[in-house]
């Protein structure tokens, strides 16, 4: 195995069967990246996401964490 094959083997599967990078599991980590990505809109987007999708049906690796 070469280095690329080793790194690919470390990736995790997502809900759709594809591979993805390391998942942010801690809410604090997700919040840090969410604030960097969504800037001043983060708190408002969390409120909207919680109201519209309380079961977190529409989720993916870059969506807001509930």
Please report, in tens digits, the pLDDT of each residue of the chain (66 residues total). 566 666 655 566 666 666 555 554 556 667 787 888 888 998 999 899 899 998 888 887 677 766
According to the model, what pLDDT value does residue 51 have?
A: 93
Three-state secondary structure call for residue 17? coil
Give the global pTM.
0.53
Three-state secondary structure call for residue 32? helix
Torsions phi, psi of 19, nearest 5? -95, 150
According to the model, what pLDDT value does residue 36 have?
A: 85
């Amino acid at each position: 195995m070469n280095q690329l094959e080793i790194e690919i083997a470390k990736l995790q599967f997502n809900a759709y069967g594809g591979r993805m990078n390391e998942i942010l599991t801690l809410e604090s980590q997700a919040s840090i990246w969410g604030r960097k990505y969504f800037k001043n809109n983060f708190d408002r987007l969390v409120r909207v996401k919680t109201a519209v999708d309380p079961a977190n049906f529409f989720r993916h690796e870059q969506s807001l964490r509930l």
